[in-house]
Copies of this chain bind each other. A is one copy, B any other.
């Protein structure tokens, strides 16, 4: 099928289906989810692949069926993940990206996209606060990979021979992060051959700044000092978190940077979730000290509502990524091309082919301006403050941590009337642990809203409400609370 009338008609028919889905997604009368169990869903359509072709009409039916059972992530009452919402300019940009169907590895095949990545990364580094926006960076397939890149760079910076000789040429490396950091730090350490046991998770200090739960700087300092004293161990990497996944807490970056400086350790800031607060004049103080980092993960696909995926790793030192990862493949990076080869950026990536993730961010930034992103982010934080104020003293609610949340994460228990006055603390806890999963299951069965829950440490299952959806309003927050009470009162 190529560009003939029949295929253009087909494409338009698909667009019509998508447009209808979009309109529906923003409609509060629509279900967020039409839930079916895996075995049911397998029966509800013929999903099997066949030898023979289907007709275009069949293909349209498949598209409709796929959307029927999809989660409406754009729905104003979808709060389940850190990435929610659907921006129309971002979507248009993603459609254009698919149509252009190219690869980021060379300027030759992606001239505009390579330039836009250059322009955008520079702008993001300026916002971080690096002089003249100098430095390096890359858009990678998600925050976990961005964090892994940071660890890879830190190791290479300290021991460049590791590239050729492997870990057998270096001492035992030790990395540090808080117990509330994202699991990708450990995943990265496992993959890179460092090992999860070499990631020291610093106990969080629940009283830091009186309001948030962050890595204890004193503990970090003491533990690093111990490893420095021990022979054969080399502390090489600290990953501070700017916006933890569950609590939305911000580690104290300035204090951490002092320690990193003292011991000559690479400082990474995992701002996958919280990095976007740098766009807000009102909230960017929470990342004070980020400009001292060696690298920063920042995912515009979360708080900035750029369609999935869009994750950036920003690096302060120029040239390091290239040296760390390049392999000089001569079939791609010919040295006798007729244009400036510094625009062939592919060799600094771990990937060979790399999806174009830049255009949706760039186009949204054009459409909103920096102030538009700021307003959107500020509004989400305002909504979360509204939620916090609404439930903090409300009967039947307990907050998981004291004080106003620093990000949009509001963590709380809902206690159904039946267990509110239970005297046996252990019995109460046991009951409470089962409440959130049941309410969540009912939410999905009714399809009215979706919000996440989890246990953490010795804390039984609690709701983690997050707001990154620009379509959400105060009324949606009210709805969420009413819905939790409606679905949970009999538990």
Contacts and interface: CB of A to CB of B under 8 A. Distances in A.
A488 interface: no
Contact of A371 (B26, B52, B173, B363): B52
Interface residues of A, number: 166
A484 interface: no
Interface string A302-313: 000001110100
B166 A168 contact: no
A236 interface: no
Contact of A3 (B26, B36, B363): B26
A36 B339 CA distance: 9
B193 A18 contact: no
Contacts of A130: none
Contacts of A246: 331
A249 to B, nearest CB: 14
Interface string A163-205: 1111111001100000000111011111111111110000000
A19 B26 contact: no
B83 A353 contact: yes
A322 to B, nearest CB: 13
Contacts of A120: 49
A343 B37 CA distance: 10
B49 A142 contact: no
A71 B308 contact: no
A327 interface: yes
B11 A91 contact: yes
* 7 closest A-B pairs by CB: A193-B193, A166-B195, A167-B167, A3-B26, A167-B193, A141-B141, A338-B441
Given A56-B367, A163-B196, 10 more contacts: A1-B87, A11-B91, A50-B369, A52-B369, A53-B371, A71-B102, A162-B193, A168-B168, A301-B353, A334-B454
